[in-house]
Amino acid sequence: MRTFTLPEAQTLLPVLDSLLQRAQEAASVATVRENALAGLSQAIFLSGGLRVDLQEVSRIKAEHTAAVTQAKDTLAEIEAIGVEVRDLATGLLEFPYQLGDEVVMLCWLQGEKNITQWHAAEAGWDERKPLDERFTRGDKLQ
């Protein structure tokens, strides 16, 4: 597992924000197309399948598949950098950070200017704490 320094993680924020936006937009398109397919399925069921526009169904399915693929590929790109996506909808990312003998997670929520929180690797977002001098002074041995 790759670990980041605080300056490394901070430097990546603009790129990660852009990738998150791309993944979020693709996920939104996928949801809209999925809902459209569900509506079409309902209409087909109610009409006994007599009025099916196969081209429309095929187009929506293709758009759904493309959007899902784009979202997955973008998330894979973020994870290849070494950053963990905890919640795509809110844009919650975590960066592994070596703090003494343990790896902890630096937390960033999309929209924040800087990384200001962290938590133990086995803890969750609700157990985060503000960064202290061990992080801000760059001393990873404390």
Asked, for residue 55, whether it belongs to a domain, the answer is yes
Which residue, among 17, 23, 4, 21, has the nearest Cα to 112 in the 3D structure?
Answer: 17
Count of structural domains, the chain: 1
Going residue by residue through the chain, which has 142 residues, state the pLDDT in tens, using 9 for 90 and above.
899 999 999 999 999 999 999 999 999 999 999 998 888 777 777 776 666 677 888 999 999 999 999 999 999 999 999 999 999 999 999 999 999 899 999 999 999 999 999 999 998 888 999 999 888 775 444 4
Residue 41 located in a structural domain: yes
Q: Could you tell me if residue 44 is inside a domain?
A: yes
Nearest to 107 by CA among 123, 91, 119: 119
- Distances in whole angstroms, Cα of residue 100 to Cα of each of 61, 123, 125, 133: 50, 17, 21, 13
Q: Provide CB contacts within 8 A for 69, sequence distance 6+.
A: none
Q: Give the pair of three-digit tokens for residue 107.
A: 């937390």
91 domain residue, yes or no: no
| Residue 52: inside a domain | yes
Range of the domain at 49: 11-82
Is residue 116 assigned to a domain?
A: no
Q: Are 23 and 75 in contact (CB under 8 A)?
A: yes
* pTM > 0.95: yes or no: no
Is there a domain that residue 66 lies in? yes
Q: At what angle do helices 6-47 and 54-81 cross, to 10 degrees?
A: 160
